[in-house]
Structure 1
């Protein structure tokens, strides 16, 4: 059985989209069959997390751990299934995570895009000289505008 003994990043770098937890020699240790193996930076050296979803993105990364002359490689997928690993990551990444967009903001954005699309379809009906489609779409547009005015 594998468990996480220690996970302390060398440093953390956050940009608009990702949190990068950079590891250094002996900043990460796992216990395998009651023996402590220390991280060595010969393969992957960082854990990349999406700032909005909080999900680990580099699941194909391989990490090396050493005890004496014995080196063991573990994939991110294996580490994620290790007890305590995600808990350690969550604790480290939590201050850097972005809040998910507000539901009301999403609804406003969708309504705005729908209105733009409706105006585009009206322009297209005009270009095609399709009076029936134009009349139908302008009625929908006026109805939407009236509903919005009533909400305010």
Structure 2
């Protein structure tokens, strides 16, 4: 039986229709057969939730977990069947859900979202440049995957 030991997002990104919960090392772990397995971003590394319906969109995602040399994969459909996973997940995404009155996003709000997204991308590019300057290969790869 699988239980969720810890679920913390590396960061949460909001889009017009979705909340994207990005996962990273040491932020997500499960317990199986009395062993703790740490999430490793080998296959899927995000959970996408519809902001309006509050449903998980990427139900076909498969997550990899590691304990020493032992690696297991758990599908999103298996994780969804764990009540504590859903509770923690919706606790993280709750403040990003759309309410009835907020579903009619104005043109001004769309422009603000576009500008914020552009600023986020520019910031990631600056951080990539910094990682290159510092010869930090790990951070370069990590940040490059965000683009």
TM-score between both structures, scaled by the size of structure 2 = 0.67
Moved over 3 A (4+): none
Distance 1:43 1:23 in 2: 11
Paired residue for 2:31? 31
Runs of 5+ unmatched residues, structure 2: 105-147
Paired residue for 1:64? 64
Paired residue for 2:134? none
Runs of 5+ unmatched residues, structure 1: 106-152
Paired residue for 2:94? 94
* 3-state secondary structure, aligned to 1:30: strand
* 3-state secondary structure, aligned to 1:72: strand
- How many residue pairs were aligned? 103
- Deviation digits for residues 102-123 of structure 1 (CA, Å, limit 9, x no counterpart): 9xx9xxxxxxxxxxxxxxxxxx
- The higher radius of gyration belongs to 1
* 3-state secondary structure, aligned to 2:54: coil
Distance 2:33 2:100 in 1: 40
TM-score between both structures, scaled by the size of structure 1 = 0.65
Paired residue for 1:51? 51
Relative to total residues, which structure has the larger helix share, 1 or 2?
1
Checking the alignment, whether the CA contact within 8 Å between 1:52 and 1:98 is kept in structure 2 is yes
* 3-state secondary structure, aligned to 1:86: helix
